[in-house]
Amino acid sequence: MAKQIRVAILGQGRSGRNIHGAHLRTDDRFRVAAVVDPIAERRERAMREYGLAKQDVYASPEGLWGRTDIDLVVNSTPSPLHQPLAIELMRHGFNVLQEKPIAATKAQVGELERVISETGRTYLIFLQSRYAPQFVKVREVAESGVLGRLVEVKITSSGFGRRWDWQTLQENVAGSLYNTGPHPVGQALEFLDDYDHMPEVWCHMDRANTFGDAEDFVKLLLRAPGRPLVDLEISCCDAYPAYTFAIQGERGTLTANAEEIRWKYFKPEEAPAQRLIREPLRDENGLPVYCREKLVWYEEVCPMTNIVDNVFSDATRRLYDDVYAKLVFGKEPNVTIRQVKQQIAVMEEAHRQNPLSRLGEEA
């Protein structure tokens, strides 16, 4: 029988229960062996849903200290606890699967790196959007060269929503960029694909429908030498919600939404031979004409239903494939802390450019 990974889940909220717990209950490679949550009702429910004994549910992480039967701890606690609690877990000998955002600043990620090195623990990052079938296929087309050199990549993550929970407060490492942003920002940086150098960042933030003091609209532009311009928008003001990709290249264009991926391109070898003409263009009768040519266009379509039935659960499964491969076979995951460190640095710079007043302060 293949090795079964024994897991402790910290937190039984929307992430810990609805994402991690929902997957782990159906994946025979893993077994939930412990749960931590400060809310008694959630602990009682966890005992029923995971078949746990009372001694395996705890009100605080300290209940795990000294346990040697846990192979992995899923840290799905509130955002301010992500970085400090991950450090504490590793120092107590646990491997960690960390929810996003992993930290608020690049310096905090550096501290995580130091603790990983000191303890030798495995630190994995739950950024399932990097495994999403739509994104994987978009990258495949872009990297095939059929669109030629990429000029611009636009990613839109939009919807309309008024929000009033704890994730609308700056004090909770919250707002659209820290809450939603790790997904599209992580995808955007894959198109730049230069984790050794910080891209040029321009950002505008706004607050429109939030009841808190953090942003709920973000426009982010990223530039790097020899890379496409990346245009990223995260909005809670869009009544026509979408998670879309639009790529412009020198030979064609790609567009992708939840239903399908479509790309259109021409083949340079089939294009009419042209040369630069400096004098005004004219037709055979000497009359002025517009500069145009007839290209043969090819178009391909990939319906999302051809990729997977449930995009969200499939992305989660693929990430847990990586988790299992790392813990059992030592295979390095596709998402690394080096990559996410750049993601955090970009988000930190975006916030630096947009200092927002806090509740109780004058705007």
pLDDT of residue 100: 96
**Which one-letter amino acid corresponds to residue 27?**
D
Could you tell me the strand order of the sheet in which 96-98 lies? 57-58, 30-36, 5-10, 72-75, 96-98, 123-125
Band of pLDDT at residue 272, cut at 50, 70 and 90:
very high
Q: Is the pLDDT of residue 1 over 70?
A: no
Q: Is the pLDDT of residue 363 over 60?
A: no
Contact 189, 346 (CB under 8 A): yes
For residue range 222-259, what is the model confidence (pLDDT) as tens digits? 999 999 999 999 999 999 988 999 999 999 999 999 88
The set of residues, in sequence order, having a beta carbon less than 8 Å from that of 53 and lying 6+ positions away, is 47
The CATH T-level fold of domain 130-314+342-353 is: Dihydrodipicolinate Reductase; domain 2 (3.30.360)
pLDDT of residue 50: 97
Segment 206-222 mean pLDDT: 95
Q: Is the pLDDT of residue 339 over 60?
A: yes
Per-chain mean pLDDT for the chain: 94
The C-alpha atoms of residue 279 and residue 254 are separated, in whole angstroms, by 35
**Which one-letter amino acid corresponds to residue 296?**
V
Burial degree of 182 (CB within 10 A; 0-12, 13-18, 19+): buried
pLDDT of residue 361: 76
Contact 163, 317 (CB under 8 A): no
pLDDT of residue 309: 54
Cis peptide before 333 (omega within 30 of 0): no
Q: Is the pLDDT of residue 362 over 80?
A: no
For residue range 155-170, what is the model confidence (pLDDT) as tens digits? 999 999 999 988 989 9
* Element spanning 7, H or E: strand 5-10
Q: Which of 57-61, 83-87, 198-202, 276-280 has the lowest mean pLDDT?
A: 276-280
Q: What angle do CA 257, 262, 264 make, to 5 degrees?
A: 145
Domain ranges of the chain: 5-126, 130-314+342-353
Q: What is the percent of the chain where pLDDT is above 70?
A: 98
Residue among 352, 142, 96 nearest 251 (CA): 142
pLDDT of residue 312: 73
**Which one-letter amino acid corresponds to residue 355?**
P
pLDDT of residue 55: 95
* Element spanning 239, H or E: strand 237-249
The C-alpha atoms of residue 233 and residue 165 are separated, in whole angstroms, by 22
Q: Quick one: residue 226, left, alpha or beta (phi over 0 = left, psi -120 to 50 = alpha)?
A: left
For residue range 35-86, what is the model confidence (pLDDT) as tens digits? 999 999 999 999 999 999 999 999 999 999 999 999 999 999 999 999 999 9
pLDDT of residue 2: 80
* Element spanning 84, H or E: helix 82-91
Segment 334-343 mean pLDDT: 97
The C-alpha atoms of residue 111 and residue 259 are separated, in whole angstroms, by 41
* Element spanning 301, H or E: strand 297-303
Q: What is the percent of the chain where pLDDT is above 90?
A: 89
Residue among 96, 93, 88 nearest 72 (CA): 96
The C-alpha atoms of residue 62 and residue 47 are separated, in whole angstroms, by 18
Question: What is the model's pTM?
Answer: 0.92
* Two tokens, residue 4: 């079964």
Contact 92, 75 (CB under 8 A): no
For residue range 75-118, what is the model confidence (pLDDT) as tens digits? 999 999 999 999 999 999 999 999 999 999 999 999 999 999 99
CATH 2.60.40.1180 corresponds to the domain 5-126: no
* Two tokens, residue 228: 């496409």
Q: Is the pLDDT of residue 151 over 60?
A: yes
